[in-house]
Amino acid sequence: MWQKIPPLRCLKAFDAVVRHNSITRAASEENVSQSAISQSISQLEDMLQTRLLDRSLRPAMLTEQGKAFHRVVSEAFGRVAMETDELRAINRGTKKTITISCNLGFATYWLMPRLSAYGLLYPDITLNVMTTYQGAAELRSGVDIALRFGDGQWPDGVGDLLFQEVLIPTCSQNFLQRNGPLEGPESIVRQNLIYVDVSDPSWPDWTTYFESLGVTSPSRSKGSHFSNYVQAVQATLADEGIMLGWRSVVGDLVSNQQLVVAVDAPVKLTSGYHVLVSRQSKTKKATIDFVAWLRKIASEEAEISTGHCMRL
């Protein structure tokens, strides 16, 4: 079995490059040279006999094979980390653990910034967050809670709605100053639009947004494309174009003025983020308390948004 597994340094280098969308930042994280990171990626590609990165693009983007392989790597590393924490908690005999599964964008921009507040209220609880690169978060063995976007109906369970999603075009202040003023959704059709390419056709995108407002959608070939929301947000912050913001992803960034609303034309979806609890965790007090805390936070933020006439 071990002969079939790539060297750990190659897998770590690959994961770091994907997470940072940068060889330079990956090298800094791993405390090695950029050439060492590049060599590790090349060695991994040689072993797999496939290209993981499309180097003809700037920055280099994942190929379809790269996307699929990173999902496996990310989930494998996440499972090892989760089991390690579980064993440590058991051996210490002091902490209870909740494992949460959600997609990368939701974890980065909505969930993680709020967990410090939870830690102050429940210092005896350890939270493990497992992220999926794309698609629905898994509710598999070892996962207590899955936070998923959709209509709430899945083969493995029915979700409890946390909040409905809202779509609104967002960009940096610099981009708006250079290209504005923009008035109405028709005015952004000719701008550089930032796309997130996902494999799930049910996830809303720019086509969904424009069709909801009765506007002809531009060709996808003219925009900038990324493989996940973290990369898309970074490109938007770097003044590269207009991103279709989801409230969960850009709400805080708009509130603290890192991003601005490009045009005030929101689209409220009938779908949203839901909480699914695994069968074995439904009666765990720690899980019940965490779900109650999530719902309280979501409800309070909805009231604040309404009070300030925010439409994200």
CATH code, domain with 153: 3.40.190.10
Which of 40, 70, 100 lies at the terminal end of a domain, its last residue?
70
26 and 15 fall within a common domain: yes
Looking at residue 134, what is its pLDDT? 63
In a domain, 6, yes or no: yes
Domain count of the chain? 3
Looking at residue 306, what is its pLDDT? 46
CATH number for 36 = 1.10.10.10
Looking at residue 188, what is its pLDDT? 93
245 and 283 fall within a common domain: no
179 and 241 fall within a common domain: yes
**C-alpha triplet 195, 200, 206: angle, nearest 5°:** 30
CB 166 within 8 A of CB 311: yes
In a domain, 196, yes or no: yes
- What is the secondary structure of 73-106 as a DSSP string? HHHHHHHHHHHHHHHHHHHHT--EEEEEEEEHHH
In a domain, 100, yes or no: yes
DSSP letter at 221 equals: G
Looking at residue 310, what is its pLDDT? 42
Which of 48, 70, 92 lies at the terminal end of a domain, its last residue?
70
In a domain, 33, yes or no: yes
Number of CB atoms found within 10 A of residue 74's CB:
18
229 and 217 fall within a common domain: yes
14 and 43 fall within a common domain: yes
176 and 259 fall within a common domain: yes
Residues with Cβ within 8 Å of 207's Cβ and at least 6 positions away in sequence, in order, are 217, 220
**pTM to 2 decimals?**
0.67
255 and 236 fall within a common domain: yes
> What range does the domain containing 188 cover?
165-269
pLDDT tens, N- to C-terminus, the chain (312 residues): 777 788 999 999 998 888 888 888 888 888 899 999 999 999 999 999 999 988 887 778 888 888 888 888 877 787 677 667 666 655 555 558 899 999 888 999 999 999 989 989 988 888 989 887 666 677 777 889 999 999 888 888 888 999 999 999 999 999 999 997 888 899 999 899 999 988 777 789 999 999 999 999 888 878 899 888 888 999 999 999 999 999 888 999 999 899 999 999 999 999 999 999 988 888 888 899 999 999 999 988 876 554 443 444
129 and 276 fall within a common domain: yes
Looking at residue 230, what is its pLDDT? 87
283 and 152 fall within a common domain: yes
In a domain, 251, yes or no: yes
Looking at residue 305, what is its pLDDT? 56
In a domain, 312, yes or no: no
In a domain, 206, yes or no: yes
157 and 275 fall within a common domain: yes
Q: Which of 57, 271, 285 is nearest to 148 (CA)?
A: 271
173 and 202 fall within a common domain: yes
Q: 289-304: buried (b, 16+ CB within 10 Å) or exposed (e) per residue?
A: ebbeebeebbeebeee
Looking at residue 312, what is its pLDDT? 46
Which amino acid makes up residue 103?
N
Which amino acid makes up residue 119?
G
237 and 109 fall within a common domain: no
Which amino acid makes up residue 211?
E
